[in-house]
Amino acid sequence: MELRNSVIIVTGASSGIGAATARELARHDAIVVLAARRADSLDSLAREIEEQGGRALAVPTDVGRRSDIDHLVQTVLERYHRIDGLVNNAGVGGGSSMADSDDKMERIVMVNLLGPARCAQAVLPTMRERNRGVIVNIGSVAGDVGVSGIYSASKFGLRGLNDALRREVWKENIDVVLIQPGFIRTPMTKGVKMPMVEPEVVARAVVEAMQRPRRKLFVPWPYAPLAVLAKCFPWLADRIVGSGAAQKRYREREQIT
């Protein structure tokens, strides 16, 4: 997809991967719609983008609420009359286990799985009408390797949703891409003590995937063979994850964007 003048919604845009992706899209002259719960952070990022010659619109949105998603899409269509791209990035951090409260588990599924599904559902009519569009879902390596209770379940679900949606719309010139980040240095991983890449690395991968779509991409790339290893040797993954080290690292993460 040609990014110049394309209208692209980025959810979870107030920080981390979402903010980095918004900046990278703006540098490619896209019109970026910033969606997240924190209005002050969105306004600050919109000003930053505009001061650097870009174009941005901030729309406070909680993707856990269907009414917020509908308002987001309606606002964008009223202003720009089209939606060319969607980056489903908003998510709840991975600090979860089966001992979590019912409310916490419900919130994780609501934001990490139903949120992206509803956002995609909301933008598809305008994409189908124009026979054009790209949807990028930000998943997680935890969606390939179960490490963290309901968080992994939500990301496994997102991977399944991504595959099903891609197959549903492939004849309509709408591309659906899954980005699977590992540990990335964002507010969501604050306190995790291990080497991590910056969110800008993921942002560049998102932009490249929108320009030249592919089914799935791990960021950084060394996570790809690890995921394959876990599938080929599940007994080994059971021992490594079951030792508690990987789970501990994921439990150190907990933030909603």
List the catalytic residues.
Answer: 151
User: Nearest to residue 188, comparing CAs of 51, 96, 53, 59?
Assistant: 96
How wide is the angle at C-alpha 250 spanned by C-alphas 113 and 134, nearest 5°? 35
DSSP per-residue codes, the chain: ---TT-EEEEETTTSHHHHHHHHHHHHTT-EEEEEES-HHHHHHHHHHHHHTT-EEEEEE--TT-HHHHHHHHHHHHHHHS---EEEE---B-S---TTS-HHHHHHHHIIIIIHHHHHHHHHHHHHHHHT-EEEEEE--GGGTS--SHHHHHHHHHHHHHHHHHHHHHGGGTEEEEEEEE-SBSSGGGTT--S--B-HHHHHHHHHHHHHS--SEEEESTTHHHHHHHHHH-HHHHHHHHHTSHHHHHHHT---B-
